Chain A
Amino acid sequence: MNQLLVQTSWWVPVYGLIGAVLTLPWSVGLVRRTGPRPAAYFNVLMTLLALVHSAFVLGAVWNQPPQRQIIPWLHVVDLDLSLALEISAVSVGTAMLITALSLVAQVFALGYLEKDWGIARFYALMGFFEAAMSGIALSDSLFLSYALLEMLTLSTYLLVGFWYAQPLVVTAARDAFLTKRVGDLLLLMGVVGLSTLAGSLNFTDLEAWAQTAKLAPLTATLLGLALISGPTGKCAQFPLNLWLDEAMEGPNPASILRNSVVVASGAYVLIKLQPILALSPVALNALIVLGTLTAIGASFVSIAQVDVKRSLSHSTSAYLGLVFVSVGMQQSDVALLFLFAHGISKALMFMSVGSVILTTSTQDLRELGGLASRMPATTAAFVVGAAASIALLPLGSFWAMLEWAEGLWVASFWSVGVLLLVNGMTAFNLVRVYGLMFGGKPQAKTRRAPEVPWLMAVPMVAMAVFTLLAPLLLQQCNLLPTWETMNWTAVGLLVLSSTIGCGLGGLIYLNPKWEKPVDLVGKPIRDILAYDFRMERLYQISVVLGVVQSSRLTAWFDRYVVDGLVNFMGVASIFSGESLKYTISGQSRNYLLTLFVGVLVALTALSWSLLGSPLTAIAQAFSLRAI
Chain B
Amino acid sequence: MLSPLIWAPFLGVVLIGLYPQPLQPSRARQLALAIATLTLFWSIYVATQFNIGQSGFQMQESLPWIERLGLTYQLGVDGLSMPLMLMNSLLTWIAIYSSDAQISRPRLYYILVLVLGGAVAGAFLAQNLLLFFLFYEVELIPLYLIIAIWGGSRRGYAATKFLIYTAFSGVVILAAFFGLSFLGGSSSFDYEVLRSQVLPLSSQLILLITLLVGFGIKIPIVPLHTWLPDAHVEAPTPASVLLAGVLLKLGTYGLLRFGLGLFPDAWQVLSPWLAWLAVVSVLYGSLAAIAQTDMKKTVAYSSVGHMGYILLASAAATPLSLLGAVAQMVSHGLISALLFLLVGVVYSKTGTRDINALQGLLNPERGMPLIGSLMVAGAMASAGIPGMVGFIAEFIVYRSSFPVFPIPTLLCMVGTGLTAVYFLILINRTFFGRLPETLANLPRVRWQDRLPSAIVTVLIIALGLQPSWMLRWSEATTTALAPIVARVAWEVSVK
Contacts and interface: CB of A to CB of B under 8 A. Distances in A.
B74 interface: no
Given A79-B399, A164-B432, A173-B428, A185 B380 contact: no
Contacts of B266: 619
A627 B468 contact: no
19 contacts: A28-B370, A29-B370, A76-B471, A78-B319, A150-B385, A164-B431, A189-B413, A192-B409, A196-B402, A198-B494, A551-B290, A562-B222, A615-B205, A616-B200, A619-B269, A622-B273, A624-B272, A627-B405, A627-B407
B255 interface: no
Given A185-B416, A196-B399, A547-B418, A170 B319 contact: no
B70 interface: no
Interface stretch (B115-123, B233-241, B485-493): B485-493
Nearest to A564: B226
A494 B244 CA distance: 63
A470 to B, nearest CB: 34
A154 B402 contact: no
B382 to A, nearest CB: 13
Interface stretch (A46-54, A99-107, A474-482, A604-612): A604-612
Contacts of A619: 201-202, 205, 266, 269
**Most B Cβ at <10 Å: residue of A75, A178, A623:** A623
Given A151-B385, A609-B206, A627-B275, 13 more contacts: A28-B373, A76-B396, A78-B320, A79-B400, A150-B384, A150-B386, A178-B421, A182-B417, A192-B395, A192-B402, A562-B223, A606-B183, A610-B183
A400 B201 CA distance: 68
Interface in A420-478: none
A365 B287 CA distance: 42
A74 B471 contact: yes
Interface in A379-433: none
B378 interface: no
B288 interface: yes
B70 to A, nearest CB: 18
A530 interface: no
A209 B494 CA distance: 9
B433 A165 contact: yes
B284 interface: yes
Contacts of A623: 268-269, 272
A518 interface: no
Contacts, number: 185
B202 A609 contact: yes
B236 to A, nearest CB: 22
Contacts of B205: 615, 619
Interface in A181-196: 181-182, 185, 188-189, 192-193, 195-196
A197 interface: yes
A76 B468 contact: yes
A622 B468 CA distance: 38
B182 A192 contact: no
A613 interface: yes
B319 A181 contact: no
Interface string A51-89: 000000000000000000000001111110000000000
B403 interface: yes
A110 B405 CA distance: 52
Interface in A176-233: 177-178, 181-182, 185, 188-189, 192-193, 195-199, 209, 212-213
Contact of B364 (A117, A161, A171, A178): A117
Nearest to A161: B432
A169 B291 CA distance: 23
B161 A566 contact: yes
Nearest to B467: A74
B483 interface: no
Interface string A594-618: 0000000000001001101101100
A188 B413 contact: yes
A528 interface: no
Given A29-B369, A154-B385, A615-B205, A74 B468 contact: yes
Interface of B: 161, 164, 179, 182-183, 200-203, 205-206, 222-223, 225-226, 266, 268-270, 272-273, 275, 284, 287-292, 319-320, 323, 360, 362-364, 369-370, 373, 376, 380, 383-387, 391-392, 395-396, 398-400, 402-403, 405-410, 413-414, 416-418, 420-421, 424, 428, 431-435, 467-468, 471, 475, 479, 489-490, 492-495
B409 A181 contact: no
Contacts of B222: 562
Contacts of B369: 28-29
Closest 10 CB pairs of A and B: A555-B291, A147-B386, A615-B202, A199-B494, A551-B290, A624-B272, A554-B287, A164-B432, A77-B320, A551-B287
Contacts of A616: 200-202
Contacts of B399: 79, 192, 195-196
Contact of B433 (A78, A170, A178, A566): A170
A44 B424 CA distance: 31
Given A76-B323, A170-B432, A181 B223 contact: no
Given A76-B475, A151-B386, A622-B273, A558 B226 contact: yes
A170 B164 CA distance: 43
A623 B413 CA distance: 24
Give the size range of A's interface with the partner.
35 or more
A613 B363 CA distance: 68
Contacts of B291: 551-552, 554-555
Contacts of A606: 179, 182-183
A588 B275 CA distance: 49
A174 B429 CA distance: 11
A564 B386 CA distance: 39
A301 B375 CA distance: 37
A527 interface: no
Interface in A552-597: 552-555, 558, 562-563, 566, 570
B272 A627 contact: yes
A432 B182 CA distance: 86
Contacts of B494: 198-199
Nearest to B414: A185
Contacts of B400: 79
Contact of A612 (B164, B200, B225): B200
Nearest to B291: A555
B176 to A, nearest CB: 11
A305 B370 CA distance: 38
**Most A Cβ at <10 Å: residue of B225, B363, B364:** B364
A550 B286 CA distance: 10
A177 B383 CA distance: 12
B323 A566 contact: no
Contacts of A79: 320, 396, 399-400
A74 B405 CA distance: 24
Contacts of B479: 77
Contacts of B386: 146-148, 150-151
**Most A Cβ at <10 Å: residue of B323, B391, B414, B420:** B420
Contacts of A181: 383, 417, 420
A492 interface: no
A177 B206 contact: no
A180 B59 CA distance: 49
B28 to A, nearest CB: 32
A550 B413 contact: no
A129 to B, nearest CB: 14
A596 B267 CA distance: 34
Nearest to B401: A192
A158 interface: yes
A547 B290 contact: yes
Nearest to B182: A606
A610 B406 CA distance: 36
A9 B247 CA distance: 45
A167 B392 CA distance: 34
A32 to B, nearest CB: 10
Contacts of A551: 287-291
B206 to A, nearest CB: 5
